[in-house]
Amino acid sequence: MTAVPQHPGGPPLPPHTLDAFHRGDFWLVQPKKGGHRAGMDAMMLAAAVPTGFQGQLADFGAGAGAAGLAVASRCKGAHALLVELTAEMAAFARATLAHPSNAAIGTRASVLVADVALSGKARAAAGLADGSLDWVIMNPPFNPAHHRPTPDALKRQAHVMEDGLFESWIRTAAAVVKPRGGFAIIARPESLAAILGAMAGRFGKAEVVPVHPRADAPAIRVIVRAVRASRATMALCPPLVLHDESDRFSQRADDINNGRSSLFGD
């Protein structure tokens, strides 16, 4: 395909694809081979945000911007800040926002290159001020180091979890979200204890949705949604089953994937 510039007058991006999401409501410019390519995880994470949400939302670990833009696609009053650590993936996010196919949605999103693991004054100086956001969603690198290692450095950075990651990312989310603001994360089921531990004293009213590839298979993901400074107890919600007996998307999964429904029905 024709090379997309990183910005007007800038160098062209590496090999990439232009992919439709939400049945063409927005398009993603993303790497063809190296780096992270977005898919169902991003759509499920975005679906944790209520459809009526209006306000400022940050997508931590945004990559090319799939989850944040999926929120903006479904929630017409949402403004998305796409927070990405690597300059390479941030360039894809900027190209995504600048693409003519995203003219309607791109005005409600921006890109910030920042390390969400920073704290205190360093975090604020990077552009993440305390109490400045209404929602944070995050799809952090959640694979253990031994899980399907990849020689691609950019992909490895996007996928492989560092020690203390949940603590540092959730600490930042708690700092930048306003009281009663929202939070959501997607991860592997084995990370649930670490996530809940990092949320303790910061977020409450946790709602946990396990995600199963089929009704008879173990969960492969958990999505946790919570409220800043709430003291309400946790709820284990009905699961999301991705595929039916014919290995096709379930109706609920298809609705979530295409922006027709929220994960929690609100």
Helix H or strand E encompassing 245: none
Task: Map residue 178 onto helix, strand or coil.
Answer: strand
Count of CB atoms situated within 10 Å of the CB of 16: 23
Give the DSSP letter string of 72-98. Answer: HHH-TEEEEEEEES-HHHHHHHHHHHH
The amino acid present at 146, given as its one-letter code, is H
* Residue entry with tokens 């552009």: 127
Q: Yes or no: say if 26 and 70 are a contact pair by the CB < 8 Å rule.
A: yes
In order of start, what are the domains of the chain with their CATH numbers? Answer: 16-257 (3.40.50.150)
pTM of the model: 0.88
* Residue entry with tokens 């479904």: 74
pLDDT of residue 90: 95
Q: How far apart are CA 235 and CA 227, in angstroms?
A: 13
Residue 29: beta bridge partners? 18
Q: How far apart are CA 145 and CA 41, in angstroms?
A: 20
CA 145, 194, 177: angle at the middle one, nearest 5?
110
pLDDT of residue 187: 97
Closest of 155, 162, 83 to residue 116, by C-alpha: 83
The amino acid present at 149, given as its one-letter code, is P
Task: Map residue 155 onto helix, strand or coil.
Answer: helix
pLDDT per residue of the chain (266 residues) written in tens, 0 to 9 = 444 545 545 567 888 999 999 999 999 999 988 777 889 999 999 999 999 999 999 999 999 999 999 999 999 999 999 999 999 999 999 999 999 999 999 999 999 999 999 999 999 999 999 999 999 999 999 545 544 555 555 454 444 456 789 999 999 999 999 999 999 999 999 999 999 999 999 999 999 999 999 999 999 999 999 999 999 999 999 999 999 999 999 999 999 999 999 999 99
pLDDT of residue 168: 96
Task: Map residue 118 onto helix, strand or coil.
Answer: coil
Tokens standing for residue 199:
């949320």
Q: Yes or no: say if 262 and 49 are a contact pair by the CB < 8 Å rule.
A: yes
Task: Map residue 225 onto helix, strand or coil.
Answer: strand
pLDDT of residue 149: 56
Terminus-to-terminus CA distance in the chain, angstroms? 39
Q: Yes or no: say if 201 and 229 are a contact pair by the CB < 8 Å rule.
A: no
Phi–psi pair at 124, nearest 5 degrees: -65, -40
Q: How far is CA 32 from CA 3, 13, 14, 23, 93, in A?
A: 12, 10, 8, 20, 14
pLDDT of residue 159: 42
Helix H or strand E encompassing 179: strand 177-187
Q: How many CA atoms does the CB half-sphere of 159 hold within 13 Å?
A: 19
- Work out whether strand 77-84 and strand 54-60 pair parallel, antiparallel, or are unpaired: parallel
Q: How far apart are CA 201 and CA 109, in angstroms?
A: 30
Residues 6+ apart with CB under 8 A from 167: 194, 197, 198
pLDDT of residue 179: 96
